[in-house]
Amino acid sequence: MTARRLRSTPIPGTRDSYTGVDFNLGYHIRHYRLDLDYRVTPNRLDGTATLTLDNYVPLKRMTLDLANTLTVRKVRIIGNAAHPIRVQKTRHHNGKLAITFSEEIPADSEFQLAITYGGSPRPIKSPWGEIGWEELSNGALVASQPCGAPSWFPCDDTPDEKATYDFVISADNPYRVITNGTLQQTTRGGSRTTWHYRTHNPMASYLATVQIGEYTELVLRADGTPVRAYLPASARAYFEHDFADQVRMLDVFTELFGPYPFRSYTVVLTEDPLEIPLEASALSIFGRNHATGEKTWERLVAHELSHQWFGNSLGLAQWNDIWLNEGFACYAEWLWFEKSQGTPAAVPAKRHYDILAQLPKDLLLADPGPEAMFDDRVYKRGAIFVHALRTLLGDDAFFTAVKRYVAGGAHSVVEPIDLKTAMTSACHTAGVPIAELDHLWNTWLHHHELPPFPEPHP
């Protein structure tokens, strides 16, 4: 079982200070089974979510996250028949589904909840735009970071609560359903097909996705770690040019960061344009505008792939640490060009450092605040800090420490202290005083001012 921190450990209080969403306390969801039926033309979603839970305190009442655009029809508890407990009442209001039981469920129980629901899923309005389930011109996609998962299923929508999933989703032919995990089977019946996918590693709810469209499959690599793409047939030539290095990227990052953390990697190219690409667990989503035949967005192809290590396998305990995801993913872009084109990472690092030097110095990397969590300064300052760590330690000690950090947090959650522990160990190996690491750590993470650009030791 994946190691995890109880809610009261990393985050004080009862509300996520970044998303503004109240925590769902008292239990963990270990597995979701989503049996869903989707009709594309009316954008209609109906189904049952079966949640496998255990509670770490006695539980008379609990809450889940679910958007009010979806209607709950029935909630029932599945548990120990020798000690039957039933759902006494439910209330669905303001994005929360509250469930009251007929009697208290003792601590450390295991039980299941089956929630039948349906409606027309819509994105959730948030300070970062509309997120979650989005209807396309010919299909649908899901992009939920940071709190859009309740737009399509009842969940505990917080980044440090990971679970495994079974997705059993029916859609009209000729639409293809693509989601996280390994395809177990497809079942065709009349004008519809049911697609069953299963994840083998736990993931955060915001990384669960569904992509529905008239896509053709393109196998980029069948052996080793399989790499597949799903795209409109008309985009194939542009895609093959712009994503020609996708497999090589995976091999390069495996060399730098350690084994690829999932069984396969999937790229979806939607028919619609997207403002930015989006990562999900073992899967990345790009818009038609990201395959133009000019390799304009090669850095983003690398960025999204690297999130499979940083963000998807190594999940966040809380959103204020988002630099752990985005700093490493941005630095991975520079590492890719260092390996593929021979451009040292120090070159883009210095270019972006000079840009940061001209921008306001009012952001703390360690806690940028919800308004700035997706600010490009978080990405670039985080990446330059990663470069500063590399410069301090030297390549051998730095990349050994990165691999140790990645392996230690695989398919769990991490905090900055986990990275610092790995880097501290590397200091001993490299003969670097711990005080130098501490100084670097404090100035880049906990001060507004921009520290000096990291230069190699003479």
How far apart CA 112 and CA 115 sit, in angstroms, is 10
Domain spans of the chain, in order of start: 22-214, 223-311, 314-446
Alpha carbon of residue 368 to chain centroid: 19
φ/ψ of 202, rounded to 5, equals -70, 145
Confidence at residue 333, expressed as pLDDT on a 0 to 100 scale: 98
pLDDT per residue as tens digits for the range 61-115: 999 999 999 999 999 999 766 668 999 999 999 999 999 999 999 999 999 999 9
Confidence at residue 439, expressed as pLDDT on a 0 to 100 scale: 98
| Contact (CB, 8 A) for 101 and 88 | yes
How far apart CA 20 and CA 328 sit, in angstroms, is 26
Task: Report whether 28 belongs to an annotated binding site.
Answer: no
Sequence-distant (6+) residues with CB within 8 A of 393 are 401, 423, 426, 427, 430, 432
How far apart CA 208 and CA 201 sit, in angstroms, is 12
Tokens of 117: 């629901």
Confidence at residue 233, expressed as pLDDT on a 0 to 100 scale: 96
Cα separation of the two ends of the chain: 46
What is the maximum alpha-carbon separation in the chain? 73
- List the beta strands (DSSP E) in 139-234: 139-143, 162-172, 176-179, 182-189, 192-198, 203-204, 210-213, 216-221, 227-231
pLDDT tens digits, the chain, 458 residues: what are they? 333 444 433 444 589 999 999 999 999 999 999 999 999 999 999 999 999 999 999 999 999 999 999 999 999 999 766 668 999 999 999 999 999 999 999 999 999 999 999 999 999 999 999 999 999 999 999 999 999 999 999 999 999 999 999 999 999 999 999 999 999 999 999 999 999 999 999 999 999 999 999 999 999 999 999 999 999 999 999 999 999 999 999 999 999 999 999 999 999 999 999 999 999 999 999 999 999 999 999 999 999 999 999 999 999 999 999 999 999 999 999 999 999 999 999 999 999 999 999 999 999 999 999 999 999 999 999 999 999 999 999 999 999 999 999 999 999 999 999 999 999 999 999 999 999 999 999 999 999 999 999 998 76
| Contact (CB, 8 A) for 266 and 286 | no
How far apart CA 44 and CA 318 sit, in angstroms, is 33
- Residues, the chain, total? 458
Confidence at residue 2, expressed as pLDDT on a 0 to 100 scale: 35
Taking CA atoms, 127 is separated from 249, 315, 367, 380, in Å, by 33, 22, 17, 21
In eight-state DSSP terms, residue 293 is S
Confidence at residue 13, expressed as pLDDT on a 0 to 100 scale: 58
Cα dihedral 171/177/182/185 (nearest 10): 40
Residues 279, 304, 333, 415: which is the catalytic one?
Answer: 304
Specify the fold of 314-446. Answer: Neutral Protease; domain 2 (1.10.390)
Confidence at residue 457, expressed as pLDDT on a 0 to 100 scale: 73
Confidence at residue 8, expressed as pLDDT on a 0 to 100 scale: 37
The residue to which tokens 């690092």 are assigned: 349
Task: Report whether 326 belongs to an annotated binding site.
Answer: yes
Give domain 22-214's CATH number out of 3.30.70.260, 2.60.40.1730, 3.40.50.720, 2.40.160.20. 2.60.40.1730
| Contact (CB, 8 A) for 264 and 217 | no
165 is known as an active-site residue: no
Alpha helices in 274-322 (DSSP H): 298-306
Residues 38, 265, 379, 405: which is the catalytic one?
Answer: 379
Q: pTM of the predicted model, to two decimals?
A: 0.96
Confidence at residue 266, expressed as pLDDT on a 0 to 100 scale: 98
Task: Report whether 303 belongs to an annotated binding site.
Answer: yes
379 is known as an active-site residue: yes
Specify the fold of 223-311. Answer: Zincin-like (3.30.2010)
In our burial notation (b when 16+ CB lie closer than 10 A, e otherwise), range 206-228 reads: bbbbbbbbebeebebbeeebebb
